[in-house]
Each structure stands twice: as structure tokens, then as C-alpha cells.
Structure 1
Amino acid sequence: MEFGVFSVGDLTVDPTTGIMPTENERIKAHVAIAKKVEEIGMDVFATGEHHNPPFFPSAPTTSLAYIAAVTERITLSTATTLITTNDPVKIAEDYATLQHLADGRVDLVMGRGNTGPVYPWFGKDIRQGIPLAIENYALLRRLWDEEVVTWEGQFRTPLRGFTSTPRPLDAVPPFVWHGSIRSPEIAHQAAFYGDGFFANNIFWPKEHYQRLISIYRERYEHYGHGKSHQAIVGLGGQFFLAKNSQDAIRQFRPYFDNAPVYGHGPRLEDFMEQTPLIVGSPQEVIDRTLSFREWAGDYQRQLFLIDHAGLPLKTVLEQLDMFGELVLPVLRAEFAKNRPADVPETPTHASRLAARTARGSEAAGPAHETARAA
């Protein structure tokens, strides 16, 4: 079971001080947070992709490449790579390059994003969001899996004898999750390819995401990738910690009320009741997070949003220190209990390379035996 942090990369005024961080400060804060994630023993740092204010992470491969240079162990991921508005050729090239620089510590969450205006900015039609996601990802897979690609589709110019460079590290492309908060077609797509499904369940009640996860698990088994309980599932979440729940709610309320993601909407207490937002003591964070398994099944990755809504970097780092000391060890131990032995861990570059090597050895076995006999 992996634990990590994802960031939407918002630029928001701190409502308690009236201070807005600069883009420079927030970009460098991403680096500091990723280093802290590794320091406290978490497993993943993920950044979103946005091309509009109040968000800054428009070039995730650049920031992740820098983070790769100052970390050693954590997986570097995207919280969303816009498969609809990015050219699949550029995605193939950029993330293969990042994969080499990070020695394989890279995976991606493919998504359509939740900002409508981004489509015309990149010459796309939002009404074609699902077909774009399906076609672009099919092309991306071929670009990574095949040395020479000849292809023609609906949404971009044809390719004739094209080779994407650099090639994926060890001929093993980055592992892909498909992220969705509303589209069963994306859950189906993830299952078809045997990829992961990331349900970023931070906005709506669990029943909505439970349906998407159920579709993904059922189709994962249908397509022959394994049993439904072996499908690769990730969940989002949010927390704000204090010694007791009263202090946590008092400290976090002004940030919640002004957050660009959900501020000026429901009350904090209502949002906490209906979504995975956990504002409280360490034990409350532990108990609520463990409850996710009751409706999502055994899953592989839990990411938390913690650096948004104007929270200063100092506070975010303190939150991570508290989480690493008081919450993370308990979650690791409790999630490991009664976990079926056949539920896989998140695929890594090393595990996928080993599996490919094993398949190659099995396929070559009879030929080797024949050669030896001759």
C-alpha cells in the first residue's frame, strides 16, 4: 500500500494573513514538499497540470525532473496529465525522458481535467472529450510499445513510419493510471488496457466513486488481467491535523471557506460528512482513512491533497511531520492486516521489468531446450 501527496498547484491568498505567495515561492514549495514526503517515509509525490490561473503547474515534467534530482526513492507522478489537449507524441517523448532522468521512478495519471476553457486554448472541442481521451491514449500506447508507428485517426495529423524518442527506459513504459471523477468510459478504458484506475474522490459522496470503481474492477476481470479484487485502484483524500478535532477545525475553517477548489460552497462540516475530507486528530485521520477500504476494497495507492487553499508552506511541512510520526505507521500496519496475499502492489518500473523478463524467459524456454539437445 502506497501513501503520498498530490497537489493541484493553486495560488491562493492566505485568508489569515492576506498574503498571496508568488509563483516562484509556490513552485519551490513543490520541491520542498516532495523532499518532505520522502523524508517522512511516504511513497509518492504527484502534481497536477493546469494552464490557467489560479494554478501554476503548466509544465509538470520540468518540475518533476528537478524533484527527481533532489530525491532518491519516491515515485514521481502526475495528478492529471491532460490526455485530451496534449499531443500524444509530446506526452510519449516528455515522460520517457523523465523516466530516464528519474531511473524509472515515474508514473502518470491520465485525465481530461476539469477546466473547460483549456480545450479551445489547445485547439480542441470539449464536446469531444471522451473520444479524444480514447483515441489519444490508444496512440500513446502504440508510441511507447512499438518502435515504428504508422497511424491515422480523427483528431491529429497521420503518422507515417514515426519513432518516438527517447524510447522508454528498458523498453518498459511508465505505468499509467486513468483518473476520473465522473466518467464510466474512463473506468472501462483503464480496465481494457489493464492499467490502474485513480478515483480522485475529493468532491462527491463515496457512492459515486464506488460505482466507477466497481465498473473498473468488473471489466478488469472481464478483459483477463486478473480477478476483480486484484485490479489496481488509487484514491484521493484530504486531511488537516491538530492535536484535537476542535483545534483542527478552528485552524482549517478559514482556508476551507476561501479555497478555489470548493470554497464559498458547502459548510466545512457538511463537506467532511459527505466527502473524504478529514479535519481532526491523528486518530480521526487514521479511522476515516481505514474506512475507505470498506467501500473501495483493497487498493494500492492513497494520495492526500494538503497544500492548497492558501496554507503556508510552514504549515504544510508541519502537517507532513505530524502525519509521518503519528498516522503513517499505523495506516501501513492496519492496511496490511487481512490483505489477501494475491492483491498486488502498485506496479513499479522494477516489478514490470522483472515480469517482462520472466515472460521472455518462459517464451524462450522450449527453444533453449531444443538448442541444448541439438
Structure 2
Amino acid sequence: MEIGVYTFGDLGPNPHTGETISASQRLKEVIELAKIADDAGLDIFGVGEHHRLDYTISSPAVVLSAIAQATKRIKLTSATSVLSTLDPVRLFEDFATLDQISEGRAEIIAGRGAFVESFPLFGYELNDYDALFEEKVNLLQQLNREEIVTWQGQFRSSLSSAMIAPRPVQEEIPIWIGVGGTPESAVRAGRLGTGMALAILGGDPIRFKPLVDLYRQAGREAGHSPEKLSVGVTGHTYIANDSQQAKDEFYPYYSNYWSYVNRQRGMGTRMSRSDFEHMASPETALFVGSPQQIIEKILKQYELYGHQRFVAQLDIGGQPFSTVVKGLELLATEVAPVIRRETSK
């Protein structure tokens, strides 16, 4: 199994000090985190796209290009690119350029986005939410396959023998579809033959198994080989030396994280310690605990899903950079070797 980390570059205040670092400092930390992940032998590093003042990354390809210069081998992916409001030609050419700069390490996770601020920003209608994504993901796949493209659709100007340049170093850039929990998204990923990046933020892992089954069934029915149908699991993660320490340290950051995310969505709810204890219990999908507990959670999900990739979001809630680095090092040195060994049997 491939093991990696991803970040949204969110600008949350430190709940202990009330201080929020600058966007410039946050971006420097993101690049440094990627370098540490690369040096530690992790397999993939991802950055997400948001268009808000409380996030620092609106252009994953630009940030990943900077990371490409600071790293040697780690794969570089968006996590995700909001394809519904992007021009697929521009997105593909940006990531083909990244693929050239990184010598063949670029990937794309395409999604519809958990936030909707990009729709008015780029002149799209929310009523077209699903139709936009369907049209654009099909065009993105065609751009990936063909150097000269002729295409016609509803939302974008037509292409007539258009040269799509540069071409990537890889034969094709790996494309994944981000799935948050809707069966329709899982079926679409299978039908199109892309990878499926499954965001699991909590709850009982068994409730996500039907999505994996739907994805693989749709892929088989569309004629895609099982080897092409890759599943990745992404989720919030905090690792400390023992499980009680992990929960005690993470609760202030996790409660803080959901406080500002819920405010962004127009909700004022706050997470209690008892709610957090339930979310972080051994039988749930939230990856909080000792290295051994994280290993057990990943392997339990592997039994359910048979997935090929696990990617952790470590840096949420206003944590200081040193805390995030400690978690990454535990993931790389204590968790990843066991997961790789057990899943290669």
C-alpha cells in the first residue's frame, strides 16, 4: 500500500495561543513538510484547492511545482482540484507541466468541491453542479489520451484539432475522482475507470464499503480491468506515542478545526470532549491514536476495502509545525513499514 500525506493549507488560529500564522509562512511550511515526507520515504504528497482567505492554496499546480524542486521521488497530487469550475484544458496543461518539472510524478484528484465559492468566482451556476463535472471529467480524460483533440460540449467552447501541450512524461497522468460519500460519485469513478479517492472523516468504516463495492462493480460493467480500479482512503490523522496522549493533544486542535469549518459553512456548532471521544474510539474511522492503533485501523479498513493507498491529513486545527512533523515522522517510521509489510503478503 502507498502511504502519504495531504494538506489544504488552512489558516486556523492556534487554540492555545490564539495566533494565526501568515499565508507566506504557511506555504513555506507546506513545502517543507513535503520535503520531510520525501526524505522520510513516504509515497505521495497532496495539496487541496480552496478560494478563501482562510486557506493558502488556490492553485495546487503552482504549489506542487515549487514542491517538485524541493523533492526527489515522492508523487505529487492535487487533493482535490475543483474540476466543476476549472477549464479542463488549463488543468491538464498545468499538471502536464508539473509532470515535466517533476520528471513524471504528477497526479490529479478531481472533485466537485466541499465548498462552493468557486462557482460565482469563475462564473458558473450551482444548478449545473453535477452536469459541469460530468462533462469536464470526460474532456479531461480525452486530453490525457490524445495530443490533438476535437471536442464539443455544453459549457465550454468547442475544440477543433487543438494541440494540447506539453505532453506529460508519463504516458498518461493518473486521474482519481474524489468521493465524499455519494453512491453516484462512486459509480461515476468506476464507469470512467479512474481511481477513487475516498474521504473518510469518521464513523464506522463498514458504512463506506458499499461505495467501494459500487465503484468496482461499475468498473467491471464498463469493461475496466480490476488492476486499473484503484481505491485510496484519505482522512484526518493524529499520531502520538500512546492513544491517551494522542486524544489529549489532538482534541483542542480538532475541536478548533470543526469550529472554524462549521463557521465557514454558516453553522455555529462546537465539538464537545465526549463527542470527540466517541469519534476517536478504536472502532471508528478517525485515525487518532498510537502508531499501533493507527496500524490496526488502517488494516481493518484494508480488510473491508482492499485499497491501494492511504493518505493522511495531519496539519489541521492550527497545530504548530513541529507537532505536525512529529506526526509525520511516526507515520513514516512506525506505521508505514508495518502497513506495507502486511498488505504485501
1:192 Cα deviation (Å)?
Answer: 2.2
Q: Work out whether 1:324 is the aligned partner of 2:332.
A: yes
Return the letter of the residue paired with 2:256. N
Distance 1:11 1:41 in 2: 27
- The correspondence of residues 1-374 of structure 1 with structure 2, limited to 5 A, is 1-169=1-169, 172-227=171-226, 231-259=229-257, 260-261=260-261, 264-265=270-271, 267-273=275-281, 275-296=284-305, 298-337=306-345
Q: Secondary structure at the match of 1:162?
A: strand
Contact 2:49–2:60 (8 Å) recurs in 1: yes
Is the 2:15–2:318 Cα contact (8 Å) retained in structure 1? yes
Query: Moved runs in structure 1, 4+ residues, more than 3 A?
Result: 260-263
SS at match of 1:197: strand
Q: Which residue type is aligned with residue 301 of structure 2?
A: F
Q: Distance in 2 between matches of 1:211 and 1:293?
A: 14
Displacement of 1:185 in angstroms is: 2.7
CA deviation vs aligned residue, 1:80-132 (integer Å, no higher than 9, x gap): 01110001111121111111111110111110011123211111112211111
Is contact 2:244–2:289 with CA below 8 Å preserved after alignment?
A: yes
Which whole-Å deviations, capped at 9, do the CAs of 1:248-269 have from their partners, x for residues lacking one? 2111111111103468246211
TM-score scaled to structure 2, two decimals? 0.91
Secondary structure in structure 2 of the residue aligned to 1:100 = helix
Using the aligned pairs only, state the percent identity: 35
Q: CA-to-partner distance for each residue in 1:49-74, whole Å, 9 max, x for gaps?
A: 11113211101111101111111110
RMSD: 1.8
Q: Deviations over 1:193-229 (max 9, x none)?
A: 32111111115543442222111011111122224x8
TM-score under structure 1 length normalisation: 0.85
Equivalent residue of 1:160, what SS? Answer: strand
- Deviation at 1:300? 0.9
CA contact (8 A) 1:2 1:302 kept: yes
In 1: Cα distance, 2:337 partner to 2:56 partner: 32
The residue type equivalent to 2:221 in the other structure is H
Gaps of 5+ in 2: 263-268
Separation of aligned partners in 2, 1:169 and 1:36: 25
Give the CA deviation at 1:14.
0.6
Kept after mapping to 1: 8 A contact 2:178/2:196: yes
Residues 322-364 of structure 1 show CA distances to partners (whole Å, capped at 9, x for unaligned) of: 2222222112112222xxxxxxxxxxxxxxxxxxxxxxxxxxx
DSSP 3-state at the match of 1:5: strand
